[in-house]
Amino acid sequence: MTELKAAEGNSDLESLIGYNLKRAYVIVQEDFRKTLGEGGLSPRSFAALSLVISSPKITQSALARALGVERSGMVAIIDDLQHRELLERAGVPGDKRAQALLPTANGKRIYKAALAAVAKHEEKLFGVFNNEEQALLVDLLRRFREARGNGVEN
Amino acid sequence: MTELKAAEGNSDLESLIGYNLKRAYVIVQEDFRKTLGEGGLSPRSFAALSLVISSPKITQSALARALGVERSGMVAIIDDLQHRELLERAGVPGDKRAQALLPTANGKRIYKAALAAVAKHEEKLFGVFNNEEQALLVDLLRRFREARGNGVEN
């Protein structure tokens, strides 16, 4: 056992579910960024673009709620996606303040390629689990979210 | 089904394990911060203090590796904990550049109270699962980390 593992093993952290969730997610996030490369979509931008494609004309505030991201953080993500010409803002008839989001043709193309890469990244990373275990993990995580609400990221 | 749920349900995100991990962790993190209150320990500071208490004299770089945090981020966390007088930096005999970390009496007291609050927070949040499911979730997350390495948070 290494010095590090010994240090972790003796602390209270390893028995905390939250700590284990966080550590697992850090591994996924790191590999996600490596997979999409420098200048590629971040996990958040990828998620935002995915929802804009599946729900064209979604408003910025509905997108923020759906993703569990604070409004201010959402604006930065949308600005970046618009700057990269992956989506466009359009007016909402009858609501001058709201803005509806639409993917560009380029946005759809980039997303499709990113999704294929992300699918491979998940297949590789979670290959440590068999199909049943993967389904079980997703089921537990979804049930947790359904019971506990969306949460908002700072 | 609400507009939001419909938007999410139609996207590719819900089937991605990484996305589900992230969303679950955001819920935990938000509740953790609420539990320890304004000015209380953040999840990262809590984890760092926990390891310094379980492994007194751990060096800053060993702590960074154990927690999967970048060195620069680690320095900020340690500075904050030292500023709050929860830990102290001490010299390492034979290595002028290294610094060993020691909890203060106050640090141990604050940690003990925080740990009790965090245990209640986990009990409440994860009460949606029975004991067997909780153990299963932790087991899956740990196996993932053991297979995939520590990961480093940006």
Which of A21, A49, A138, A150 to mutate: most B Cβ within 10 Å? A21
Q: Nearest 5°: phi and psi at A151?
A: 75, 150
In the prediction, which pLDDT does B121 show?
Answer: 96
pLDDT in tens, B44-92: 999 999 999 999 999 999 999 999 999 889 999 999 999 999 999 998 8
Q: Between A6 and B140, name the one with better pLDDT.
A: B140
By the 8 A CB rule, do B102 and B49 touch? no
Chain B residues lying within 8 Å of A150, measured CB to CB: 23, 27
Strand order in the sheet with A87-92: A58-59, A95-103, A87-92
Tokens coding B95:
């290595």
Find the CB nearest B7 among A51, A134, A141: A51
pLDDT > 80? residue A3: no
Which pairing describes strands B58-59 and B95-103: parallel, antiparallel, or unpaired?
A: antiparallel
- pLDDT average, residue stretch A111-138: 96
In the prediction, which pLDDT does B1 show?
Answer: 42
Give pTM, 2 decimals: 0.88
Distance CA A87, CA A104 (A): 5
In the prediction, which pLDDT does B8 show?
Answer: 55
Q: ipTM score here?
A: 0.90
Distance CA A110, CA A46 (A): 10
Distance CA B69, CA B89 (A): 18
In the prediction, which pLDDT does A1 show?
Answer: 42
> Helix %, strand %, coil % for chain B, to 5?
70, 10, 20
pLDDT > 90? residue A96: no
In the prediction, which pLDDT does A14 show?
Answer: 92
Distance CA B64, CA B61 (A): 5
- pLDDT average, residue stretch A108-114: 97
Distance CA A44, CA A50 (A): 10
pLDDT in tens, A56-83: 999 999 999 999 999 889 999 999 999 9
HEC string of chain A equals CCHHHHHHHHCCHHHCHHHHHHHHHHHHHHHHHHHHCCCCCCHHHHHHHHHHHHCCCEEHHHHHHHHCECHHHHHHHHHHHHHCCCEEEEEECCEEEEEEEEECHHHHHHHHHHHHHHHHHHHHHHHHCCHHHHHHHHHHHHHHHHHHCCCCEC
Location of structure tokens 């989001």: A101
Location of structure tokens 């009858």: A94
Q: Which of residues 92-151 of B touch A (CB under 8 A)?
A: 115, 118, 121-122, 125-126, 128-129, 133-134, 136-138, 140-145, 147-151
Q: Nearest 5°: phi and psi at A42?
A: -80, 165
